[in-house]
Chain A
Amino acid sequence: MSIVIENLSKDYGAAPVLSGISTVIATGEFVAVLGASGCGKSTLLNVIAGLEPPTVGSVAVPAGGAAFMFQDAALLPWLTARANIELALEMRGIPRAERRHRADGLLELVHLSDAGTKRPHELSGGMRQRASLARALGQDKEVLLMDEPFAALDAITRDLLHDELERLWRAHRRTVVFVTHNVREAVRLGQRILLLSSRPGRIAAQWKIDPSVRSDPAAAAKLTQDITARLREEIRHHAH
């Protein structure tokens, strides 16, 4: 077992943001967390990452913590793409002599070998997210937490990054918790989908995605429809 969340609740003093969340995420599992904006997806991820303490309950992650990928790539603008990756290696305690070589390998992994000397503002949105992904992989943690990492990208770029992420996940087998508000994205990537309700955020429903669904467009479309309907139902609760 990789991540164990038990009866997790979180509030910021006022109304609860998350309430009574319990789930177990297996090693190497790809879980998509789906929910409307403001339902507490980022909060959940921040608690798992240890950026925020839980108010009630507990979260257990593997020793050494988790790697994190932010929605905006959060690359440091004064460093080149390679230096941004090297920074993650430095903070892991990798000796200087090795960092350069390893960073080049990570850049190659996300097909950015030619962009290592560029600064973030010289990269397109998709390239920035790939550099950010390379940095997260450079943290070399068993768990990778991703907070709507592709939400700001155009659809063509996002599709490509889905392929890229799936490829890397198959090759490197991290435990991934992927937050999104996009049903299609969740169905495209997740082995399991957790639907969060809003105010408070609870696990309203979950689906296991059979791998065969992804190779069958009709089945994928049907599932996407079902999940969308369920999501809308959750949102309708708040109409009154």
Chain B
Amino acid sequence: MPTSQSATATAAVDTPTDTPIDNRLENLKELEAGLDHLQEDTAPVRRPVATRLLLPLGTLAALVSLWQLLAWFASPRVDLVPGPIEVLGTAAGLLVDGRLAEAVATSLQRGVLGFLLALGIGTPLGLLLAASPLLRRGVGPLVSGLQVLPSVAWVPAAIIWFGLTDATVYFVVVMGATPSIINGLLSGVDTVPPQYRRLGTVLGASRIQGLLRIVLPAALPGYLAGLKQGWAFSWRSLMAAEIIAVGGSIGFGLGSLLQQGRDLSSMAVVSCAILAILVVGIVIELLVFAPAERRLLRRRGLAPGAGR
């Protein structure tokens, strides 16, 4: 097209100060900008909200239907297999007399506080072990052993030491969660790519700079995984402690409600308690750990785990 050609010519005449060097540089800059645009990631594909919400809800509906079916098969023995409707009725009753809310609040408070205690103890211990290979060789196997040890095993000892008090519950929770947090931090530090440490050396990082600015941020995903597992252990240990240690000055938690249901031979109350324990676990995962993990991984360009 003659018009566009003359336009280019005019542009060239308009900038007579251009030296060849400037031209080459401009050229390079433009070429790079073109390549950059061509190679850059386009907007990430996001799964529609529909499938993210519909799939879990569909699963829930299917499970409840299956449960109802089971209840029909066992219909003369409602005391053994109460259906969803009976359990819902019992839950309403427990809500009205305040027992369910009290149990959830008490357990949640203990679980969170116990977890935070474990966090406060496990993190510095993990850092210490990460910093000292000698100490780690000595203590590491013990930590891994404690992680495998079911924390219920601590309940009798805790009762002997602390009696039927909240200290017993917290002791069991801390013993259950701390090893996971320590090991999560350690595995996070272990899996820091050696390249990052070399980078620290090359950049002239001091030991403390290397730790704070490179190793610990790099270890964050492993640490978070450890925290997640630590929370799971907290919650499980708490239930174990609450079921076994009832009475004294110990408050009324979900484990206590479970135990009460057993004493009353009420499968409906037991089902309510199990469901409440499950729901708290899911809610904490969905509200706390899943978003934290998603944010952390997305910032680093790592795909978050499937199903979220």
Contacts and interface: CB of A to CB of B under 8 A. Distances in A.
A111 B32 contact: yes
A169 interface: no
Interface stretch (B36-44, B51-59, B251-259, B285-293): B36-44
A160 B31 contact: yes
Interface in B23-42: 25, 28-29, 31-33, 35-36, 39-41
Interface stretch (A17-25, A121-129, A173-181): A121-129
Interface string A45-59: 000011100000000
A91 B204 contact: yes
A100 interface: no
Interface in A158-213: 160, 163-164, 167
Interface stretch (B70-78, B137-145, B191-199, B266-274): B191-199
Interface string A113-134: 0010001111111110010000
B280 to A, nearest CB: 31
A124 B36 contact: yes
B301 A121 contact: yes
A123 B301 CA distance: 11
Nearest to B296: A78
B209 A127 contact: no
Interface stretch (B120-128, B214-222, B234-242): B214-222
B300 A121 contact: yes
A126 B29 CA distance: 13
Contacts of B196: 74, 76
A32 interface: no
Interface in A59-74: 65, 67-68, 70, 72, 74
B199 A70 contact: yes
Interface in A82-127: 87-88, 90-92, 111, 115, 119-127
Counting chain A CB atoms within 10 Å of each CB, the highest count among B25, B29, B204, B214 belongs to B204
B109 interface: no
B2 to A, nearest CB: 32
A127 B29 CA distance: 12
Contacts of A92: 203-204
Contact of B209 (A67, A91, A130, A157): A91
B33 A111 contact: yes
A43 interface: no
Contacts of A127: 36, 39-40
A30 B239 CA distance: 68
B28 A164 contact: yes
Bin the interface of chain A by size: 35 or more
A126 B39 contact: yes
B300 A122 contact: no
Given A74-B196, A78-B300, A167 B204 contact: no
B301 A126 contact: no
Nearest to A66: B202
A130 B220 CA distance: 27
A167 B35 contact: no
A139 interface: yes
Contact of A124 (B31, B39, B201): B39
Nearest to B33: A111
A76 B32 contact: no
A120 B301 contact: yes
Given A90-B213, A91-B203, 19 more contacts: A50-B201, A51-B202, A74-B199, A77-B301, A78-B218, A78-B299, A87-B203, A91-B205, A92-B204, A111-B32, A124-B40, A125-B39, A126-B35, A126-B36, A127-B39, A127-B40, A139-B204, A157-B35, A160-B31
CB-CB nearest 4 A-B residue pairs: A121-B301, A124-B39, A68-B202, A77-B300
24 contacts: A49-B202, A51-B198, A72-B195, A74-B199, A77-B299, A77-B300, A77-B302, A78-B299, A78-B300, A87-B203, A88-B203, A91-B204, A91-B209, A111-B32, A119-B300, A119-B301, A121-B41, A122-B41, A124-B35, A124-B36, A126-B35, A156-B35, A160-B28, A167-B25
